[in-house]
Amino acid sequence: MKRQIPLALVFIFGIFHIFQYFVPHESSEWLYEFFLKWIYIIGIFALALGIWSLIRVSWDKVKHRRPNWPYALITLGGLFAMIIFGFDYFRHFFTAEGLQNYMFRAFFDYILIPIQSTMFSLLAFFIASAAYRAFRARSLLATLLLLSALIIMLRFNPYLGFFGDYMEKTASWLLNVPNLAAKRAIIIGVGLGMVATSLKVMLGIERQYLGKD
Amino acid sequence: MANSKRISAIILIIVIATFLLSWIIKAFNLEGSPNNTGLWFSIRDAFFITIAAFLTLAIFSFLYKDNPYYKFAEHLFVGISAAYWMCVGFWSTLIGNLVPNISSSLSTFFRVPYKGLHFTYFVPLILGIILLMRLSSKRGWISRWALAWIVGTTSGLNLIRYLRTDFISQVSNTFIPLLVDWKGVGPFFSHFSLSSTGQFAMTLSNWVIFIGVFCGLIYFFFSKEHKGIFGTASRVGIWVLMITFGASFGYTVMGRVSLLVGRLTYLFRDWLGLIS
Amino acid sequence: MKLKILSIFCSLLLGIVPLAIAQENADTASVDSTAVASPAPVSQLTAVDTDNDHGHSISLKWEPSPDDGAGLKSVIGYEVYRAESPGGPFVIRAALPSGASSHIDVGAKEKESGDYMADYTDYYYKVRAITADSLVYSDSDVFGPVQCYGQWFNTGRIPVLVFVIGFMCTTILLIQKAKSGAKLFVRRLAGIEAVDEAIGRATEMGKPILYVLGLGTAADIATIASYTILGRVAKKVAEYQTRLIVPCYDPITMTVAQETVKTAYADAGRPDDYNEDMVYFVTQSQFAYVAAVNGTMLRERPATNIYMGLFYAESLILAETGALAGSIQISGTDQIAQIPFFIVACDYTLIGEELYAASAYLGREPLLLGSLKAQDYAKAAFIVLAVIGFLTINFGIDWFKQLFYISN
């Protein structure tokens, strides 16, 4: 019973959305738009579960003085400070102006964005280290990977002189022909895999996500 | 051990002193700027710019090794980002979307315009509360109903979406001529050209696409052993895949480097003021 | 004397009057030569409800005016007018260039909108052929009444329906075949075979295993495929009594992952070893999550990192950090853009569809193997259709390609 009803619900809603695709009538479209809106609303409730987990894990670290426990205090401090600013407690209790609170925006602009951008920029270093480690042409496959990467990287190099034009044409052909072919093969495989997995979920064959009774 | 603690303490003092100094200098530099609105604002803005620069360098320090500055930045980032998305989700979705459709008194309390009572909005509210029952060890099983709703909906949507875009559309897009503008052997040789838009190059490209897709799909065959001709085709498939992956890798290198340029610009321009 | 004057007067009269008359005629003749006649109107105007839509739309067709783009009466465009009664008032709905012979009049479905077009309401249309002179135009006959309404079946999506039914039937048939005891072969997946070895290595070294489910939501297909692999890994980990760390990006994914791991520990006969803090939520911000997982990798020093699911730009950061930390790395994603980075940085990578095949490979259950076989049949069908398509295109046969056309 505890698993049968969810499995039935999965099947019913899955089949409904498949049928909905073939029914252009307004009522079907209305239901589809509502279902999508509902997913966003439910997602926010789920976020509360996540925040609870984060607080519990961090507090547990502090309470039992696990390694690096002072940093868990920083996590909790940042979390609660942002919540207070976000709800604009000191000025208007519970007001939508919370998101316009100066400190909330300052934390976003001067803490969140810089760290996020810096983490993203680490990719420049990591791509270089990955290339250094991987491009050693130890096998035919690695050689093919290396050669095609080199051709694409060098295509706009102004110092190649006579070869520059041929490099650019080769790179363009590589991107438009074998690249297209392989991507199409992967896309078809992935698409079929997704369709098959969706079907397995709807038919109740794939039910790991429900856990056990 | 005592030595390393002493070194860490000295480094900490140097870092604090450096950034304090940078804050003071920045505050006075901002004071003289055209859009300045007073000393207090200069001090406040300079503080935040200095904090942003400190956190940027703390994250970069990760490239050397894990250290307390990176740990500080990481844990602060986790806490603040989790709360940020919670606040945004609460105000934009719950208060912006749900409350105006279920309660006029709550709409007044939260100062959002009431849109009238829509009973359909009670469904996600109930499903959301059911999801929260996960926290209860006795009643937690009921949260599967909300999960089933989400999983069922997305499975149905995904099945159709991916069948259409990743299979049917790909089938019809693969219908390309294997002999482009073919008018017979004579005209082919008399008008032979290696130009990329020429008949020969386009025919060759179409054959490469045909063989590439064919062999790539064979590589992804799971229910037949890759032996003999099948194995050869599968090997050609993985070669084509590797060429693609190399091309993708090379394509993204410059994009990633430009991200670093952006961050360095912030440090040298907004923080240190060394470039305009 | 009187006779002389009379004759002079008559001659004058005979001379001037014709001249005057001639002048008058000449003036009249010049007025006639500058007036422009109206152009010929459009003909055969028809209007019908637009097919395969949700209503609020009418499709019009007409024969363009014979004066379209020709001569003094040159038609430079058309205007479509609509009214709710044959006598009007008519409201302009569209202005079209010369040469136009059709138009779809789409209205809003919301009553509050100024452009609302009600279903099951009579509408009347006329098309006006316009010239460069705004005062010179001609209207077609009024066509109507015509009503718009939504359809209950989109015939333009029949190819999708055919494939959905075909795939479902193939899957169900092959599952039945697998259930009846038929042996279904699955080729070796190096990445999945390495999982057992990697778990053994972690146990020997006394180090934990890090499992990253990716940045997908609980309902993403890649994440669902990852749960199955997580279940197998967790069961093995429980048997070997190794530590498992599962940092989660999405809170619902976290709840499902907790259920999966708890079930796996119970299946392995070690329910008491399960600790809910093994599977924890980090944050729903992409790079904050990456920063936290990187920190975990460098501090906990897991022997094995397993990345299975939906990944974006952070894939390289995770994989490289893991490589620098000296972990064995096994990855699998369906994101084509991230596969090259995993291939370069990880020891084993499941490419695209291999991630979905992994669940069938691990469990060898008939139901899952049957579904995998159906995927292979679909790929074989693709190859056959592609070959037919190549041949038909080469021989100039277009109808075969049209079979796959899907309208919106």
Spatial CA neighbour of C312 closest among C341, C291, C284: C341
Structure tokens at C234: 């967790």
C27 assigned to some structural domain:
no
Q: Which of C344, C348, C390 to mutate to test the interface with A (most CBs of A within 10 A)?
A: C344
Tens of pLDDT, residue by residue over C181-240, are: 877 788 888 888 888 889 999 999 999 999 999 999 888 889 999 998 999 999 999 999
Nearest to C227 by CA among C279, C162, C274: C279
Q: Answer yes or no: do C320 and C375 share one domain.
A: no
Q: Classify residue C329: in a domain, yes or no.
A: yes
The closest of A7, A115, C275, C385 to B148, measured between CA atoms, is A7
| Confidence at residue B194, expressed as pLDDT on a 0 to 100 scale | 65
Q: Which of A190, A194, A201, A213 to mutate to test the interface with C (most CBs of C within 10 A)?
A: A190
Start-end of H helices in chain B: 2-31, 39-60, 68-89, 104-109, 122-132, 143-163, 169-173, 185-190, 199-219, 228-265
Supply the CATH number for residue C66's domain.
Answer: 2.60.40.10
Domain hosting residue B130, numbered range: 81-161
ipTM of the prediction = 0.86
Residues B55 and B92 in one domain: no
Question: Residue C158 corresponds to which amino acid?
Answer: I
Average pLDDT over residues B186-203: 71
For chain B, the domain total comes to 3
Assess whether B86 and B60 both reside in one domain. no
**Is the model's pLDDT at B129 over the cut of 50?**
yes
Which pLDDT score, from 0 to 100, does residue C217 have?
87
Any idea what DSSP says for residue C42?
P
pLDDT tens figures, C76-101: 999 999 999 998 899 999 999 988 99
Is C95 a member of any domain? yes
Q: Nearest 5°: phi and psi at B161? A: -60, -50
Do B44 and B96 fall into the same domain? no
For residue C23, tell me if it sits in a domain.
no
| Residue A1 predicted with pLDDT over 90 | no
- Order of strands, sheet of C102-106, starting from the edge strand that comes earlier in the sequence: C43-49, C57-63, C102-106
- C-alpha closest to that of C254 among C290, C285, C314, C214: C214
**Model pLDDT, residue B134:** 80
Quickly state the pLDDT bin for B175 (edges 50, 70, 90).
confident
- Residues composing chain C: 408
The conformation of residue C319, written as its DSSP 8-state character, comes to H
Its pTM stands at 0.84
pLDDT at A209 over 50: yes
Same domain, C267 and C346: yes
Mean pLDDT of B230-247: 91
Give the pLDDT confidence score for residue B107 in this predicted structure.
87
Same domain, C337 and C230: yes
Q: Is residue B168 part of a domain?
A: no
H/E segment holding residue C333: strand C328-333
- For C345-380, the three-class secondary structure string (H helix, E strand, C coil) is HCCEEEECHHHHHHHHHHHCCHHHHHHHHHHHHHHH
Residue C31, judged by CB atoms within 10 A of its CB (0-12, 13-18, 19+), counts as exposed
Do C244 and C353 lie in one domain? The reply is: yes
Q: If you average pLDDT over residues A27-56, what whole number do you get?
A: 86
How far apart, in whole angstroms, are the C-alpha atoms of residue A91 and residue A94? Answer: 9
Confidence (pLDDT) at B27: 83
Residue range C104-148, pLDDT digits in tens: 999 988 888 888 999 999 999 999 999 888 888 999 999 989 999
Would the pLDDT of C256 be above 80?
Answer: yes
Same domain, B60 and B88: no
Residues of C in contact with A201 (CB under 8 A): 224
- Interface mutation target, options C334, C373, C377, C383, chain A, most CBs of A under 10 Å: C334
If you count them, how many residues does chain A have? 213
C-alpha dihedral sign at A48, A49, A54, A56: positive
Contact yes or no for A111/B51 (Cβ under 8 A): yes
pLDDT, tens digit, for every residue of C143-184? 989 999 999 999 999 999 999 999 999 998 988 888 888 777
Tokens 């046969």, residue located? C397
Q: What pLDDT does C27 receive?
A: 42
List the 6-35 stretch of C: residues with Cβ below 8 A of A: none
Q: Is C371 exposed, middle or buried (0-12, 13-18, 19+ CB in 10 A)?
A: buried
Statement to judge: residues C328 and C195 lie in one domain? yes
Highest mean pLDDT among A139-153, B28-42, B209-223: B209-223
Nearest-CA residue of chain A relative to C285? A116
**C265 Cβ under 8 Å from any chain A Cβ:** no
Model confidence at B33, in pLDDT bands (50, 70, 90)?
A: low
Both C392 and C296 in a single domain? no
| C349 — pLDDT class (breaks 50, 70, 90) | very high
Q: Indicate yes or no: CB of A86 within 8 angstroms of CB of B80.
A: no
Q: Is residue C25 part of a domain?
A: no
pLDDT for residue C290: 94
Task: Note which residues in 348-367 of chain C have CB less than 8 A from chain B.
Answer: 351-354, 357, 360-361
Q: What is the pLDDT of residue B196?
A: 65
Is the Cα torsion angle B109, B110, B114, B116 positive or negative in sign?
Answer: negative
pLDDT averaged over every residue in chain B: 85
Q: How far apart are CA C171 and CA C370, in angstroms?
A: 7
Task: Give A196 to chain C, closest Cα distance, Å.
Answer: 7
Q: How many domains does chain C have?
A: 3
Between CA A150 and CA C257 the distance in angstroms is 41
The answer to whether residues C224 and C251 belong to one domain is yes
Least confident of A111-120, B105-114, B225-234, C33-42: C33-42
Residue B97 lies in a domain: yes
C125 versus B109: the higher-pLDDT residue is C125
Mutate to test the interface with B, among C259, C321, C335, C407 (most CBs of B within 10 A): C259
CB contact under 8 A, A104 and B87: yes
**B196 shares a domain with B150:** no
Chain A hits for C227, CB-CB cut-off 8 Å, are 208-209
Q: Which of B116, B134, B161 is at the close of a domain?
A: B161
Q: B88 and B55: one domain?
A: no
Whether A73 has its CB under 8 Å from any CB of chain C: the answer is: no
- For residue C294, the enclosing domain spans 190-364
- pLDDT tier, C29 (very low <50, low <70, confident <90, very high otherwise): very low
**B20 located within any domain:** yes
Do C236 and C298 belong to one domain? yes
Region of A138 on the Ramachandran plot (φ > 0 left; ψ -120 to 50 alpha; else beta): alpha
Task: Report the pLDDT value the prediction gives residue C12, as an integer from 0 to 100.
Answer: 53
Nearest CA in chain B to A30: B120
Residue C11 belongs to some domain of the structure: no
CB atoms within 10 A of CB A207: 18
Q: What is the rounded distance in angstroms from the CA atom of residue A194 to the CA atom of residue B158?
A: 7
Contact predicate A119/B62, CB 8 Å: no
Q: Is A23 in the C-facing interface, judged by CB distances under 8 Å?
A: yes
Q: Please give the pLDDT value at position C11.
A: 55
Contact (CB<8Å) C390/B249: no
The answer to whether residue C48 is domain-embedded is: yes
Residue A90 has pLDDT above 60, yes or no: no
Mean pLDDT of B147-172: 89
- Domain contains C13: no
- Three-state SS at C266: helix
Q: Is residue B70 part of a domain?
A: no
> Same domain for C272 and C129?
no
Q: What is the C-alpha separation between B253 and C340, in angstroms, rounded?
A: 12
Confidence (pLDDT) at C5: 55
**In a shared domain, residues C142 and C288:** no
In angstroms, the CA C189 to CA B66 distance is: 35
Q: Determine, yes or no, domain membership for B167.
A: no
Among partner residues A5, A41, A94, which is closest to B110 by beta-carbon distance?
A: A94
With contacts defined as CB-CB under 8 Å, which chain A residues touch B166? 187-188, 190-192, 194-195
Taking residue C289's Cβ as centre, other Cβ atoms within 10 Å add up to 27
pLDDT of C33 over the 50 cut: no
Residue A78 reports pLDDT greater than 90: yes
Average pLDDT over residues C352-370: 84
Residue B174 inside a domain? The answer is no
N-to-C CA span, chain B: 45
Query: CA gyration radius for chain B?
Result: 31
